[in-house]
Structure 1
Amino acid sequence: MKIVIVEDELAASDHLAYLLNRINSDIEVLAIFDTVKAAVNYFLAPNDAELVLMDIHLADGISFEIFEQVKIDIPVVFTTAYDQYALKAFKVNSIDYLLKPIDEEELTDALTQFTVQVKEKEQGMDDDQLKGLLGLIKVGTDKKAFKNTFLVSLRDELIPLKTNDIAYFLIDLGVVKAVSKDNQTYSVEGRLEDIEESLDPTIFYRANRQCIVNREAIVNLKYYFNGKLIVSVNPVAKERIIVSKAKASDFKDWMNS
């Protein structure tokens, strides 16, 4: 079985490849991509892939954009940490999905289902499935309520901190920190990925793996080598906030919206 993984978190893609090898050592991971652009370029060219394991959020956009640019005629299994509106979309459109963190038994079941599909000669998503999925995702996004307050830690206290008062979130020594507009630093429970899902994407942007920034905290952007950007913020961050070349164009569009 030849599989392509589309996933922008290195730890997640490594874990997925490890599980696949545990399940069946004959499984071959042909390639791992972390951007919409890279995946599109791969599937535009002749390839031997038989199955795609695909995350929703990628480094340069949403994975559904891939299907708008190229036809994928093989089964796709989404790996997602999305909330219920997305799962409803998957169910309605008869598309398989796995919830993160990926469970070995559930992954095994998905691969078994893939084998059944091959025998029945089923293909990937058709146009109606894609349109239905995108439509339901949009409806869900429109209805989604974003978090207004975070309960944060400061020494031995828990303090309610309004989301709009947060300049940026960052990972510091493995702990998520929220830096307020008045330059106070608080510890926040949870993963940066989960925090990102709870934020309004018109206000906050995941600049890189370590940082989510509030547009109101951005002072300016500076061009960096190889097409990257440096984001200057107020209060000043301890480490430089760098946006990759792959995300630079999308980040500028977001800032310009």
Structure 2
Amino acid sequence: MKAVIIEDEYVAAENLKRQIKAVDATVDVIAVLQSVEESVEWFSENAAPDVAFIDIHLADGDAFLIFEKIEIRCPLIFTTSYDEYALKAFEVNSIDYLLKPINKKNLEKALNKLKYFSFKNNNEELVSQIVGSIRETKGTFKKHFLIPYKDKLIPLSADEIAYIRTEYKMADVFCLDGRRFLVDSSLDELSRQLDPAVFFRANRQYIVSHRAIVDLTVWFGGKLAVNLSVKTPERIIVSRARTGEFKEWMRCNG
């Protein structure tokens, strides 16, 4: 079985490749694509694989832009940190929707669907399976952290976080009450750990909490500036490519 992975994070792609091999050694990952542009080019020039694993947030926009430019004629398995796109994924031939961090059990179920599931548009059974899978997985998001601070460990609830900002390879966590902690985790790692109904990856530098958002400012070039209830070192800008997604997240999680 030939597979393609569309994922802009190298470590995440390598981890997924290892997980796939561990579940089914017959799966051959023939390409790892990192962007919308690269994916469109690859699928235009190559025969369709047996399956494509697709992360939604890519370096140059969300993965759904791929389907606006080219038809992909193979089953799709979405791998993402966000649960709000499940039905949209189903509209573009998705047979499963796996929330990160991906576990072996759910990956094995997804691969089994390739063998036994008869793929049809508007199939209510599939929608039910996808939504059920999301509900099972959603409870795994972290609600509490232990933050090393000097010679102590500080308990921190996810509810207390206003935003998170990258600081080299570490992350600065800013709280609603003004406290600030430096943690030894990347923004990608934290994005996978936090509940996507509450936290949004605004750009490559910031994750923002819904609880901290006061309002939005329409910015030049179709972008949005996010105004929080706490001070930030600079404006937090949501790119034009993600403004629609961000507005939908605001509406759905208000």
TM-score range, shorter chain: 0.5 to 0.7
CA distance in 1, matches of 2:131, 2:35: 25
1:1-257 paired onto structure 2 within 5 Å = 6-9=6-9, 32-34=34-36, 47-51=45-49, 54-59=53-58, 72-74=72-74, 82-84=101-103, 86-94=106-114, 126-127=119-120, 135-143=128-136, 144-145=138-139, 146-257=141-252
Shift of 1:198: 2.4
Shift of 1:31: 7.2
* Residue equivalent to 2:85: none
Contiguous gaps of at least 5 residues in structure 2: 17-29, 81-99
Moved more, 85-94 or 162-171: 85-94
* 2:222 alignment partner AA: G
| Closer, same or farther: CA 4–149 of 1 in aligned 2, 3 Å | closer
CA distance in 2, matches of 1:126, 1:29: 24
* 1:58 alignment partner AA: H
| Closer, same or farther: CA 132–253 of 1 in aligned 2, 3 Å | same
CA distance in 2, matches of 1:90, 1:74: 14
Q: Is the 8 A contact 1:7 1:55 kept in 2?
A: yes
Aligned-pair RMSD on alpha carbons?
A: 4.4
Q: Is the 8 A contact 1:227 1:245 kept in 2?
A: yes
| Closer, same or farther: CA 31–9 of 1 in aligned 2, 3 Å | closer
Moved more, 191-200 or 171-180: 191-200
* Misfit runs of 4+, over 6 Å: 10-13, 28-31, 65-70, 75-80, 130-133
Identical pairs, percent: 32
| Alpha-carbon displacement from aligned partner over 1:138-177 (angstroms, at most 9, x marks no partner) | 2222122132111112233211101101101121122112
Compute the TM-score of the two structures, normalised by the length of structure 1. Answer: 0.63
CA distance in 1, matches of 2:102, 2:33: 28
Q: Is the 8 A contact 1:34 1:58 kept in 2?
A: no
| Alpha-carbon displacement from aligned partner over 1:1-31 (angstroms, at most 9, x marks no partner) | xx97633448878xx9xxxxxxxxxxx9797
Q: Is the 8 A contact 2:143 2:158 kept in 1?
A: yes
Provide the aligned length of Structure 1 versus Structure 2. 213
| Closer, same or farther: CA 132–249 of 1 in aligned 2, 3 Å | same
Contiguous gaps of at least 5 residues in structure 1: 17-27, 96-124
CA distance in 1, matches of 2:33, 2:145: 38
* 1:170 alignment partner AA: R
CA distance in 1, matches of 2:55, 2:33: 17
| Closer, same or farther: CA 30–93 of 1 in aligned 2, 3 Å | closer
Q: Is the 8 A contact 2:142 2:193 kept in 1?
A: yes
Shift of 1:204: 1.1
Compute the TM-score of the two structures, normalised by the length of structure 2. Answer: 0.63
CA distance in 1, matches of 2:180, 2:229: 13
* Residue equivalent to 2:84: none
